[in-house]
Structure 1
Amino acid sequence: MEMQLWRDSRDRAETATRALQDALDAAGVPERVWRSIRSVVTRHGRPFVDIGPLPPEVAERLAEALRQPPPETRWLDTGSSSGVMIPVPPGRRP
């Protein structure tokens, strides 16, 4: 495996790991539960997030959150020449 492939895969896995940890933290899950979540890259360069064992109540909360429909996202045109748009959270006025 090329080093650049490994680095890219590692970055992707670490970003996803942090996102999941942040979401669990925001949901009030104690750090002792989610701190063992880690990023993994296989010898073939495939990125994964290893969540390991979770307490049943955390797994149930995670499953319930995944069943919820995503909030509608509105986009605000920044007016830049590059066409950059930013998401507007639900309930917020641009």
Structure 2
Amino acid sequence: MMWMGEVGIVYKILPENVELDVNDLSKRIEDEIKGICKVKGVQIKPIAFGLNAILMFISVKDESGASDKVEEKIKNVKGVGEIEVEEMSLL
């Protein structure tokens, strides 16, 4: 039996526009991805001109395609504009 580790990923998620409630968006993202990963932490970070980014730290099994599934789920949440990986590391 092969032991599978976990990967920690910090995603930077930008809303479609500045009018969106990023706290509500963050909760909807968490609801969408639960079951395929664990949300370890969320931080709202001001960017510029009223735009806030969501920094979401998640852990996912270290297996092929796992992080892609998480990204796809996040991208499909209404209100998500852009998503990028800020950091990725084995846990």
Band the TM-score falls in, shorter-chain normalisation = 0.3 to 0.5
Tell me which protein shows more helix as a share of its residues: 1
Higher relative contact order (CA 8 A, sep 6+): 2
Tell me which protein shows more strand as a share of its residues: 2
> Computing the radius of gyration over CA atoms, which structure comes out larger, 1 or 2?
1
